Structure 1
Amino acid sequence: MQSNGNQPKSMKTFLVIWFGQLISIIGSGLTGFGLSVWIFTQTGDATPFALNALAYNLPRILIQPIAGSVADRFNRKKIMIISDTGAALVTLVVAGLLFTDNLQVWHIYLTTAISSLFSAFQDPAYRSSITMIVAKKDLARAGGMQQIGSATNLILVPMLAAFLYAAVGLRGVILIDFATFFFAIGALLVVHIPQPERKTQPSEDGKSSMLKDVGFAWNYLRERPGLFGLLWFYAAVNFFLSLSGPLWGPLVLSFGSEVELGVVQMATGLGMLLGGVMISTWGGPKDKKIPAVIAAIALSSIGYVIASLHPSVAFPAVGQFVVSFFLPASAALSQAVWQVKVPADIQGRVFSIRAMIAFSIIPLANLIAGPLADKVFVPMMSAGGLLSDSIFARLIGTGTGRGFAMVFLLSGVFLVGLSLLVLAYPRVRNLEKEIPDAIPDDQEEIVTEAVPGDAVPVPIGD
């Protein structure tokens, strides 16, 4: 495969792709918001939220190694186009079920699982393509810009959802979601995404070669203890995030309305937007990015504690703002480190194994989140419950929804403690010094001089 590594890298390409993805993400967000409210209206429990999250995460994790091998073997642009097309067709199926009044909760689980498979193939192709179109010095900014897109979605979706539901109903909203996929696909069709030169060739003998690719990526990480340890830290963090994540809706709806849930989601978007703008403008520290990643995770965890303190919309709104403000810095800086340390031609495989390890614990968290809240902590934190006279009750109160709050409180405390422990581990803390860069600085200086306009950060996201 011919290398395109010497071609100038332009943020314009990234901007075009981002814009198409942004429109599609907003459409999907409208559908997701409406279906989440529909699920809670139909069931009134937290468990279906957790099961839907499980339906998204489990297939994605299982298919990641194959998706990474595919990203290194085939044209990454075509992989992204096919993935977006598949996701659009799944949305069309949901619309059909709605129009025929046949939609059931299990249909949502199934279509969510299928959508996650397409997303699993798109993700390594997209992330590994960023290294080919964004200069080394701008990788952290690009990561922050991706977060801005998600934040824009969270801010706009609640307002748009309320207006569109009144104007065209849920069926119309899902059709709008389907139409937005054409923006994502169209953007990919008009840009050029360079392919990396293959320095490490994947084998070409079918299924066995896929297994060899998985083994190669696993060994690559095992030989680098800093990266390997960082991955298991991410897995633990994702466990607690995913334990609480499906419960945001039940927590707010236990004392508030759909409008107040929208307020919390808007606070989430505002925090993510400001955090994304901060990291995309600043770019993060030149050195010691990993300590900054860990510190950002610890600070974001405080938001879970805040959200648990009182059953009024202000507390989960402020809590979500804190969580969302610091997580973009953590995600952007981490992604920049990985993109610099891992050679471009093997990023598909390595990034997929990274995702599989980091997300491997999420299905367990999704599986136990609902029952843990509904069957354990809700009864314990009810009036006369086992913990109704405990220090926890004095801190967050008792009654309706306080069992959900207990999950948030414990998650926040454990995450802060875990972050401090990992920060004390030198192999993770010093991995930037121990592992050499895969992208030479002198190469990037030439690229920057070739396109001086790219030195100006552009506030975009994914």
Structure 2
Amino acid sequence: MSPTFASLSIRNYRIYATGSLVSNVGTWMGRVGQDWLVLTVLTNHSSTALGFVTGLQFLPFLLLAPFTGAIADRFPKRRILFCSQSALALSALVLATLTLTGVVQLWHVYAVALFQGVATAVDNPARQTFVSEMVPRQQLSNAVGLNSASFNAGRLLGPGIAGLVIAGVGTGLALLLNGLSFFFVLASLASMHTDELNPVPTSRGRGQVREGFAYVRSRPDLMLLMGLVFVLGTFGMNFQITTALMATQAFHKGPTEYGLLGSIMAIGSLAAALLAARRKNPRLLVVVVALAGFTVATAVASIAPTYDLFALSLVPVGLFALTAMNTANSTVQLSVDPQVRGRVMSLYMAILMGGTPIGSPLIGWIGDHAGPRWTIGVGSIAVGLSLAVVAVVFLRSGRVRIAVERADTARLPRLRLVRRPVTAPVIPEPEAVR
């Protein structure tokens, strides 16, 4: 089997990936349906309302991350996923029913978004770390890359299908198909051979949340990485809002063209995910280069004069965004102790997505007052400035360098920050986490 798809040789992972692919297509259909419902049915193209919906979906990541991470480390992850995926299916079916019966109101969407956010906050650290129980360590990076490929394959297919369904039948059916898609994940979890899983020993006792924070604070490399992804997640990864506003306000397009934008962006994201699946050793330098590419690509997208050029610019945007996120995800998972992986991943996801409750309403407000193009431009400026700060403070000041420390043969190299005199010679480009 090709190295890109090596993890699919493992039965449990193959079944899980199949169910996830179907569910991911449904998830992206649901996102497009929800956004179109808010923008064109429940409001008069209010980007502020859409920003609040997105913010409510991600607020629980910020508030619950330490506790949901402890849940992932304390209880069997497969059991957690059964509960969280069932809750997500229920919420999606409720919104679909309200829409199909014609009684849906904006506050209903707010309430469902918040409920889905809570369920996703529980689901995410368990789902992220469950991969390590299905595949051996040497294939973990490949499996993480394929997970990302599945997510973006759903992003490639889902928005386009949703646009066609909404234009031909209505928003309610797109939301209904999303709710039904969750049952494929539940079926895949039920079909696994549990004796072939390699569960990490659960962690019990008091002080688990505090222990997770202390572990991250003791790792300057993780702090640096999380700082970069915080800016990316808060100001750069608001495509749920930005593409909707660009399609409807800047180019005056309908649901089919809006859905197509998500699929076009997914071309770049899917390419990035497949490249990541081939990359055995994630490197921190790849994250930095990808964020630089993201800065340039989003700047170009923000000034695209036509719909076609804007759509074309989304391919490199998706490529660079997914490269940065996927490499950062693999780096974190491969470099932390298994006993705290759930808590660290929940904090990582909180950093990546937890800024969205702040960023999304702000981006929505900017869209209403400065226009849709600035919703993308702000992300480009913020990510570019974060890279400039890292470059100036950490690499060019001469006071700090990034070095590789190998604690023992059982663990991956770890980045640590080492202070040195200002007069010391400039250290060459840092070696990344292997």
Q: In 1, are the aligned partners of 2:60 and 2:354 still within 8 Å (CA)?
A: no
Deviation per residue, 1:15-56 (Å, 9 max, x gap)? 211211111121222222122122211321211111111110
Of the candidates 247, 252, 273, which is equivalent to residue 256 of structure 1? Answer: 252
The alpha carbon displacement at 1:420 in A equals 4.0
Q: TM-score, normalised by structure 2?
A: 0.83
Amino acid at match of 2:390: V
The equivalent residue for 2:334 is 340
The range that moved more, 159-168 or 294-303, is 159-168
The equivalent residue for 1:275 is 272
The equivalent residue for 1:28 is 27
Amino acid at match of 2:22: I
Distance change >3 Å, CA 428–CA 297, structure 1 → 2: farther
Q: In 1, are the aligned partners of 2:232 and 2:379 still within 8 Å (CA)?
A: no
Distance change >3 Å, CA 126–CA 162, structure 1 → 2: closer
The equivalent residue for 2:419 is none
Q: Give the alignment of 1:135-146 within 5 angstroms.
A: 135-146=136-147
Q: Determine if the alignment matches structure 1 residue 368 to structure 2 residue 362.
A: yes
The equivalent residue for 1:458 is none
Structure 2: distance between partners of 1:244 and 1:163: 20
Amino acid at match of 1:260: E
Structure 2: distance between partners of 1:328 and 1:31: 21
The equivalent residue for 2:107 is 106
Distance change >3 Å, CA 17–CA 360, structure 1 → 2: same
Of the candidates 179, 202, 226, which is equivalent to residue 204 of structure 2? Answer: 202
Give the aligned length.
395
The equivalent residue for 1:237 is 232
- Structure 2 residues not aligned, in runs of 5+: 1-6, 413-434
Amino acid at match of 1:14: Y
Distance change >3 Å, CA 295–CA 182, structure 1 → 2: same
The equivalent residue for 1:381 is none
The equivalent residue for 1:412 is 380
The alpha carbon displacement at 1:140 in A equals 2.7
Structure 2: distance between partners of 1:272 and 1:155: 9
Q: Give the alignment of 1:58-457 within 5 angstroms.
A: 58-165=59-166, 168-191=169-192, 192=194, 193-198=197-202, 201-203=203-205, 209=206, 212-242=207-237, 246-254=241-249, 255-258=251-254, 259-281=256-278, 283=279, 286=281, 289-375=283-369, 377=370, 403-423=371-391, 425=394, 430=402, 433-434=404-405, 436=407, 439-440=410-411
Q: In 1, are the aligned partners of 2:364 and 2:375 still within 8 Å (CA)?
A: no
Across the aligned residues of Structure 1 and Structure 2, the Cα RMSD in angstroms comes to 2.6
Deviation per residue, 1:124-176 (Å, 9 max, x gap)? 11111222323333333222212222222222123322443466543333332
Q: In 2, are the aligned partners of 1:342 and 1:438 still within 8 Å (CA)?
A: no
Structure 1: distance between partners of 2:384 and 2:103: 45
Structure 2: distance between partners of 1:341 and 1:240: 27
- Structure 1 residues not aligned, in runs of 5+: 1-7, 204-208, 378-402, 442-462
Q: In 2, are the aligned partners of 1:22 and 1:153 still within 8 Å (CA)?
A: yes
The alpha carbon displacement at 1:270 in A equals 0.9
Amino acid at match of 1:234: V
Distance change >3 Å, CA 27–CA 245, structure 1 → 2: closer
Amino acid at match of 2:20: Q
Structure 2: distance between partners of 1:35 and 1:186: 25
Q: In 2, are the aligned partners of 1:267 and 1:317 still within 8 Å (CA)?
A: yes
Q: Determine if the alignment matches structure 1 residue 19 to structure 2 residue 18.
A: yes
- Counterpart of 1:43 in 2: which secondary structure? coil
Q: TM-score, normalised by structure 1?
A: 0.79
Q: Determine if the alignment matches structure 1 residue 38 to structure 2 residue 37.
A: yes
- Counterpart of 1:311 in 2: which secondary structure? coil
